[in-house]
Amino acid sequence: MVSITLSVSEETKKLMKKFQELNWSGFIRKSIEDKAKELEWKEKILNQLKEEEEFTKWSVELGRKAKKGRMQKISSRL
């Protein structure tokens, strides 16, 4: 496992000493891991959305053409 050094204010250090029953190192490690996994998940979702963008553009354009064609049929009957 890799170690990192973290700087906190004196006020934060005093608060951390006040609550020594909490494993601060474990808490910070878990928080970093959770955030990294969340960001990885978001990146994966964004990549999937980018892949689907072309299909979305095609389907929107198809819908517009269908709507336009339907309006022309209705107009010609009137």
**pLDDT the model gives residue 52:** 87
For residue range 54-76, list pLDDT tens digits in order. Answer: 888 888 888 888 887 776 777 67
- Between 1 and 21, the more confident residue is 21
Its pTM stands at 0.62
Segment 36-55 shows an average pLDDT of: 93
8 pLDDT band (50/70/90 cuts)?
very high
DSSP calls for the chain: ---------HHHHHHHHHTTTS-HHHHHHHHHHHHHHHHHHHHHHHHHHHHHHHHHHHHHHHHHHHHHHHHHHHHHH-
